Structure 1
Amino acid sequence: MISVFPNIIKNAISVVKPNQKVIMDMEYLKLITFICFLGTIQGDLIKCPSYGSKTIALEGEHVRIRCKLCNASTPLVLSDLQTNGFSINWFKDISNGDRVELLGKTGRITFEGTSLGFWPAFVNDTGRYSCSVSNRTYNIMSAGTTLNVQKNKGFCRGNIYPFSQYIGKSITLPCPKLEDYSNKENNIKWLKDCKGNVHTGTKYVIRKVEERNAGKYLCLLSLENGGVRYNVTRLLKLTTKESVEPFKPKLVYPVEEQIELKLGEEREFECKAIVGYKMNDYCLLYWDFTNSGNATVHESPERIVIEDNRTSLVRPLVFTRIQAEHLNQPFKCVLDCPETNQIGNIILLERGTSETGPTILLLIIAVAIIIIVSVTYVKFKIYFALCFRDFTSRDETLEDNKEYDAYVLLLKSNETLLSAKEETFALELLPEILEQKFGYRLCIFERDVLPGGASANDILSYINKCRRLIIVLCAESMADDSSMYELMTGLHQALVERLIKPILIEYNPVRDITILPQSLQLILRSNRRVKWRSASLSQNSYFWKKMRYLMPAKHIKASEYCQN
């Protein structure tokens, strides 16, 4: 068999370099193997199996078909066969089952090494093509290649190669089936939606896919033949998908549990873990605990539960009888998966021995007591203060060099005369209770200032002798000149110099306080305001208790006021 191919063997041996071991080039070994295979074939024509490949092209574009033999030969081997005396012929099947040989020397259909080229392809080129490799003695026929040339319906229309990727991921878009143009791949242009050029090169890489990247991509290779340029195009379609994070198994129960129970009880605790949207065979769920041969605690078989399209594992831990040795030690539930390892604990406590319950109860009681005391103090603060004064016999009037406890100012109106009731209150009822019942000494302008001695200096000197300034407000109308001077003098002492504390008695309801002086409005909004009501006639009423609270602390003998 070797004698049949002396030239080929001679060429194969000649590639051995003199300074190296005698090792044949692997490609030539392939060549010799294929020739030996041919030498063992009996007969003139060897046919390959009927199956073959399919090529789709668009009318008007260049297309190339490669000669593919049915053995393990490579394009390099076929090229070497052609240079060493083997010829390659192409045939096209015709309707009656025969085939016609293609010349392919010149013109639109050409031979290009081991390939058949169409410059360009037309619809009537559609058919089945095959090639043969032969010398004078042997002939081997390839499997058929079906060429389907489709009507060109316009740019960016034709056979589509689909691709998809999740948003946020990267993708590399190749230009498919351009192996025959490996030396020209860098000239490929990429068009998005067949409009703008977005890339030039073999592959188009999108490092972070966004929704706007979805669409059609046309990779276009332009070739020249006989002074005319022809296109080779491939149309790809990229669809984007919302990124879905892989589900990570999670231990649901227990986490860190403390459970109170009674000794002797029978209890069962279920360890539960969600493992995904389908069964995860690589996850283990089990209980880890110290068991010194005690049959009162054991694991039950694992259960699989499907909830909301998610698969969960459940592993029960059964106590047939709670014993003292089970208390205050962890029973661990372990979820062991390749991507995670999680542990949850259950600690059993004897009911009634937990320190948490009493602590919480004491805290609730303390908060309740604080709230009750606060509300009680706010509501009954005046009563507590008066009782404390009487109990301790506290007296603020000693050794302060003041002659009067309070200066009484009755605001008079220029437009209206005071009624007898208002006069009676200011000049009779007020001093009767405060002076005769509670022992205070009041300075009343109408009563204590002698006629002809009501100069400005006299009024100021009387106010300076007092510890409080009682203002009786009967109406919203402005006071007359004399009352206004007394008011301004007293308010200056009270609000600016802080030498005297004001007490405002609202005898009649004030409907509009905005017509009053600003300083008087401030007192009306303060806690030093007392409202007179018809029920205030009793000396044990709230009105008189607040008056005593606002007046200086002064010891009185009577203790009956502490009782209400």
Structure 2
Amino acid sequence: MMLKTVALFALLFLSTLNPKKSLVVGCMSVGCGLEPPCHPRPKNVCVRAGEMVALQCPRSIDSNTEVRLIWSRATDQDRVLTNMTADEQQQRSMSVHRGSLVILSASVEHEGKYSCTVGYGRNGSSEFVVTVNSAASRRCEDKQNYSQTCFTQQSCKLNCPDVNVPVVHSPNITSNGIQWYKVGESLQKDNYFPTVEKQNSGLYTCVRSYQYQGQKYNMTFTVILDVQPKKAEKTAAIISPRDDDVIHVELGSTVVIDCTAVTYSEFDDVSWLIGEFTVDQDSNLPVFFNSTRKIEGDEIQTTASLVFRKISEDDLSKNYTCKLAAVYQSSDFVTIHLRNAHPQYLLLCLCTVCIVAALTAAVIVYVRFKIDIVLFLRDTLGCHAKISDDKRYDAFVMGYKSHADSGLSAEDRRWLENVLEEKFGYRLCLVERDIQPGEALANAVLDCIEESRAVVLIPSSSDPGLGSGLLTAIHEALVERQTRLIFIESEMGEGSAAGSLAEALQLLSETGKCVTWRGRGATASSSFWKHLRFYLLPSQRPRKGRFLSQTSYNQGLI
């Protein structure tokens, strides 16, 4: 302290030897000559001729005080511009309002030094030197150029400089937006490039347009876009969990949720937030987090584990955010949500019930409409298995004596055979047509069964001459060859079939599929024809797709 005092007196003594010279300490003068304090250097402002420029006084005052900001110009013998009337401001193409002085349309007459001062004193003033850049002089053209660098294969947005522009709420001054042009092109351009390329480099001009008392004024800036090759930069990122992930937890359980990030700087940090508050690392708290790091080459894998000692209802109502605070890039955030695990079980049970119900309904529908579905697939879509068993006939049709006196007449039988062959395309083996005269009936019948894929037994009102021995042999042949049997019985004989049929016929009826004959009036979509065609294998030759004749149509086949 003593040394500092002695040094100060020595300096004062030296200053008295030459009173016209002062000792400058910092920005204040010490000496007998009371010179004004030093001021900051004036701010150089360059503006294109005919365009707008705004000078903003960096000093601010309270609007409620009587002290005001005073604008003046040195070339006007320090005239106070703040006192100009509205007509004088319009004549000088200026607008002065508190800390803002706007030159609406700059000309050479506006060049010079301007200053803003708090009150009428010299202390606390700020100075501006305005230079007007005309087409002839181009004195400060380089100061109106601004550079911007973008990288190929990345998005790029040109930024229009906001240097010396009017403040947002300047009285009577309204912004009309910004227009972009590329130097050498007349069409207006967009300042956003979704994927910038090298050919997008060049000079761009942005024009800020303003409206003042019905007149339009502009401010023009030049942006030099330099497109460089894309840098192979490594970006730190959170790799798990994903944003908006839902973690199912059980109430009362202990839960640990890991947030893992890959970083490239030891100063990057991973932490957890609950809402807007940072989670503490104090392990004594109900909810805390701890962090671990694993270094692999230039990568640092950081894991922040959020620990819940005991999940409560209150925990389920909050959002949890993992934050990656990186040094060389913007922060990355991932938010997760907690949900009670029990509703998931309920949803699973509900889905199971719905699936079972849907399957049950499907089975019921299939069982109820199985015949219609199979015939639709056969007739419309052609969906049926191709059979390659070298059989000559689709079915062997033969009659048996009906004891109920309700069998088919010879005419009914021929009609049925014709429908099967002509309309539905079946290739039939008929006793009357395909068995040679004089051939043993038993051998011929067994040969027909051998060469047919199915056997159709038709009740006949007349006796076809089939003995019980032949019927037994037919049964054995059908069982041995596993040939389909369709047993047609008359409608009137249904109730007395078991008592009226011989034992051999009874055995055959129990072996095969029974179809009830309801008369020749049955249509092609009737139950009789649906069942008969369903039990028969699909025909192996194309259907003719037409009715037998007009007679068959009149007889009710359709």
* TM-score w.r.t. length of structure 2: 0.33
Using the size of structure 1 for normalisation, the TM-score is: 0.32
